[in-house]
Structure 1
Amino acid sequence: MKNRKTRALRRSGALCAGLAAVAACGTGGGSVSTSARGPITYVAGADNTGTVRAVLDRWNKLHPREKVTFVQLPTDPDAQRQQMIQNAATRSDAFTVLSLDVVWTSEFAAHRWVDRLSEKHFPLGKMLKPIVATGMYRGGLYSVPASSDGGMLYYRTDLLKQAGIHRPPVTWAELKADCAEVRKLPAAKGVSCYAGQFQKYEGLTVNFAEAVNSAGGVVTDARGRPHLDTPQARKGLEFLVRSFRDGTIPKEAATYQEEDARRAFQSGRLVFERQWPYMYPLANRKDGSSKVAGKFAVAPLPGLNGPGASSLGGHNLALSASARNKATALDFIRFFTSQETQRFSLAYAPAAPTYQALYQDPHLVKKYPYLPVLKQSILHAVPRPRVFGYGDVTAAVQREVFAALTGAKSSAGALKDLQRDLRQQAAGK
């Protein structure tokens, strides 16, 4: 057993030596060696499910001389990004492997805050193509998919059945009509129709982009140019604004982040909710923490004229350009993003796997019934703006869209101002 482990470690070391020899693996790292080995750090948002710690425990038991320390950042993604940028700006080696939101890759790669990686050393061909694309920048690989994410429509099967409705809504009009029928039921007293994540933070950018995409529009095109002066963009924003006005979306949803919306659905206060897959097992717990356990299912997000399009979520692992012990870091990225680790992680939290095979595994589908819907959500998802200055773009989106949702601006005025701001940003002004 000892000899087998020794051989495995030698193969691992040889692999990393090969990785270090590839020039692409260290384009942003300056004089920092890509062959050094030793302790490293893994930097990510708060580990609310215990998944990260379980994975790191597995690694650390196998690599006692190359242990990984978890640097846990705030839950808020905007705060995570800022701390990573601050570390990069000072060229600190405190952060080694970064867990990047999929929309950050372009910004971090363009600034050379992360190293370019060699594609041939990662099993990208076994992953879903839209997910792989999130790690690319100008033809190069700068981050490796560790998990994906797609929005789904959670709906109360018990209430829809009582109202004589036999399938979830496919369009926004059907969603509102179904709500009207459900809310006639005595069992639906005090229940609101629909909610997503509408507080002024990254979740609002996600929900707004989904509304525009689901109306047939785009926030920005492949070249980063905004397209918010279109009928599709207006219809997408108007769906959200009118839903707040007519009570389809409760007013308090303007304060909702993911956990707020989850608690509202689990407590039985919503018929429908737009949410990520992490909520599925939490809402289905039989320990009394959820009033809707066994009473809900998931479906694709509805759209204007048919099924909608989720924003593509998820996290990729990248190598900090100023890090030390990069050979160990590359090994760790391979370990963390492997199919085996993703299968293991599903036992802790229902993150969306990146490997096609895991969505087709009968055992996993039986255990996690949301997987087929989630796969379709990811395959039809649209990335948020993949632009150089993503932080400025999402801040502008949040500011203008929130103003429209709360009545501080008209939809037309908010979109006009947002189009102007994003055009100026795209032009580098």
Structure 2
Amino acid sequence: MRQRNRLAIAAVLTCTAALTAGCGGSATNEPSAALEGRGPITFVAGKDEESVNPKIVEAWNKAHPDEQVRFIELSSSADDQRQQMVQNAQTKSDAFTVLDLDNVWTAEFAANRWITELPREQFGIDQFVPTTVETSLYRDRLYGVPATSDGAMLYFRKDLLAKAGAQPPTTWDEMRQVCDKVLALPEAAGMSCFAGQYEKYEGLTVNFAEAVHGAGGVITDPSGKPNVNTPEAKRGLDALIDGFRSGTIPREAITYKETETRRAFMEGKILFSRAWPSQYSHAVKTDGSSGVAGKFDVAPLPGVAGPGVSSLGGHSLAISSFAKNKATAVDFIKFATAPEQQRLRLDQGSLAPTRSALYDDPSMQAKYPYLPLLKRSIEGAEPRPRVVKYGEVTDVIQEHAYAALRGEKSSEQALADLQARLQELTGQQ
């Protein structure tokens, strides 16, 4: 049912998004006419801590002296990255060629004709995890090639759970019960139970969506209409609010982004953490930077009403409609999304692959035992709202969810206000 809902949402929301933006038929640049020209290009992406993208560019440049790629590194903030890419598109500048797009930006960029439609047959799309491809489509046309994905996992202290005779939880109630047992141990003195990302930024949208979906609710229904003012969504938001009130989630977590969550877990301040696979590469380090190396494991996210549901993260590579040398850009995208480059991203940054075969490779599973779990997380993940005005939509989600977590609004008021604003932004009552 969840897979059918995703496909229904993709089909309806993208058509609705086009109407909201006042867009008509296909993009101005047809692939046969647009993907021409060879020569130097640029590759634009956010800053990554492991500097994987510069290494991919370096490898390409060594093999293509006449078609050099210049890497343009943007901020590490997703919000800042989007703003810079939008500004470049609005001025119709050719400064950006290949764009590393967060998968929730696809509808906005495609509907506004800022990126070029890509020919499916050239990229072997059937070799990718289906959910990652869905987020690269707009009106059932391909506008990006999935380069990385992301599915959240529950990181936990396996040493402390074993000491208490406990198993990883599958629900929030079970997690609280496990914490009561484990935190009573002398070895767990001073620890808190759980943390995710609750600062007022994109991570809050992700965590709010996971709480809502994990309680059986939705932000938008299968027809594309906002439907967040429901008992199920309230139950999800209340779980976060109650977590802060009870101390299950430490008070300081209201300021946590991914880095702060990772540090809290690696420094032994929290028993459980909700995090992307990128946390894994840091937590396993034995150079003294991690206090949990050899002491942790991962499990599926717990949910409020049952097993949890991850938000679908990840990035696709797209081509700016205003760029030159698009034929070179096509070849660079093929290179940058090839199995070898996806292995590099996994090896050096714990960035989830998008190609199915890498998850099923026994040699990869031996090296990364969490891959089967990660694949299930991604296959069962739900996308954030795929709308043309995503920047405004995520801002209002953050605004009202943050107010509720800080106790400035009740969950009822926050969800009612959020529902009203989403209806305004999507044009659907």
TM-score, normalised to structure 1's length?
Answer: 0.92
Paired residues in the alignment total 405
Distance in 2, Cα, partners of 1:332 & 1:55: 10
Distance in 2, Cα, partners of 1:293 & 1:218: 36
Whether the 8 Å CA contact 1:25–1:117 is kept in 2: the answer is: no
SS in 2 for 1:347: helix
In the TM superposition, residue 344 of structure 1 has moved relative to its aligned partner by 3.0
Give the stretch that moved more between structures: 48-57 or 167-176: 48-57
Whether the 8 Å CA contact 2:43–2:96 is kept in 1: the answer is: yes
Distance in 2, Cα, partners of 1:81 & 1:251: 30
Which runs of structure 2 are paired with 1:344-359 in the superposition (5 Å)?
A: 344-359=344-359
In the TM superposition, residue 163 of structure 1 has moved relative to its aligned partner by 1.1
Partner of 1:57: 58
In the TM superposition, residue 33 of structure 1 has moved relative to its aligned partner by 5.7
In the TM superposition, residue 29 of structure 1 has moved relative to its aligned partner by 8.1
SS in 2 for 1:348: helix
Mark the CA change 1:316 to 1:63 in structure 2 (over 3 Å): closer, same or farther: same
Q: Which amino acid aligns with 1:116?
A: E
Partner of 1:75: 76
In the TM superposition, residue 25 of structure 1 has moved relative to its aligned partner by 11
Q: Does 1:205 align with 2:205?
A: yes
Whether the 8 Å CA contact 1:56–1:68 is kept in 2: the answer is: yes
Distance in 1, Cα, partners of 2:109 & 2:260: 30
Whether the 8 Å CA contact 1:224–1:386 is kept in 2: the answer is: no
Whether the 8 Å CA contact 1:26–1:117 is kept in 2: the answer is: no
Q: Which amino acid aligns with 2:332?
A: F
Whether the 8 Å CA contact 2:144–2:318 is kept in 1: the answer is: yes
Whether the 8 Å CA contact 2:192–2:270 is kept in 1: the answer is: yes
Distance in 2, Cα, partners of 1:51 & 1:144: 18
SS in 1 for 2:65: coil
Whether the 8 Å CA contact 1:194–1:272 is kept in 2: the answer is: yes
Partner of 2:145: 144
Mark the CA change 1:178 to 1:249 in structure 2 (over 3 Å): closer, same or farther: same
Which runs of structure 2 are paired with 1:294-333 in the superposition (5 Å)?
A: 294-333=294-333
Q: Which amino acid aligns with 2:313?
A: G
Which runs of structure 2 are paired with 1:138-177 in the superposition (5 Å)?
A: 138-165=139-166, 167-177=167-177
SS in 2 for 1:115: coil
Partner of 1:264: 264
Partner of 2:17: none
Structure 1: any 5+ residue segments left out of the alignment? 1-23
Mark the CA change 1:306 to 1:428 in structure 2 (over 3 Å): closer, same or farther: closer
Partner of 1:7: none
Mark the CA change 1:79 to 1:163 in structure 2 (over 3 Å): closer, same or farther: same
TM-score, normalised to structure 2's length?
Answer: 0.92
In the TM superposition, residue 296 of structure 1 has moved relative to its aligned partner by 0.5
Partner of 1:385: 385
Structure 2: any 5+ residue segments left out of the alignment? 1-24
Which runs of structure 2 are paired with 1:267-306 in the superposition (5 Å)?
A: 267-306=267-306
Q: Deviations over 1:120-163 (max 9, x none)?
A: 11111011111110100011111110010000000000111111
Q: Deviations over 1:324-376 (max 9, x none)?
A: 11110111011111123212332211111111110111111111111111001
Partner of 1:17: none
In the TM superposition, residue 65 of structure 1 has moved relative to its aligned partner by 1.2
SS in 1 for 2:218: coil
RMSD of aligned Cα (Å): 1.7
Q: Which amino acid aligns with 2:274?
A: R
Distance in 2, Cα, partners of 1:289 & 1:296: 15
Q: Which amino acid aligns with 1:94?
A: A
Q: Which amino acid aligns with 2:412?
A: A
Q: Does 1:91 align with 2:118?
A: no
Q: Which amino acid aligns with 1:219?
A: I
Partner of 1:12: none
Q: Which amino acid aligns with 2:135?
A: T
Distance in 2, Cα, partners of 1:34 & 1:376: 35
Partner of 1:10: none
Distance in 2, Cα, partners of 1:416 & 1:306: 25
Distance in 2, Cα, partners of 1:216 & 1:28: 41
Distance in 1, Cα, partners of 2:343 & 2:400: 40
Whether the 8 Å CA contact 2:158–2:297 is kept in 1: the answer is: yes
Partner of 1:44: 45
Distance in 2, Cα, partners of 1:223 & 1:63: 46
In the TM superposition, residue 222 of structure 1 has moved relative to its aligned partner by 4.0
Distance in 2, Cα, partners of 1:25 & 1:363: 43
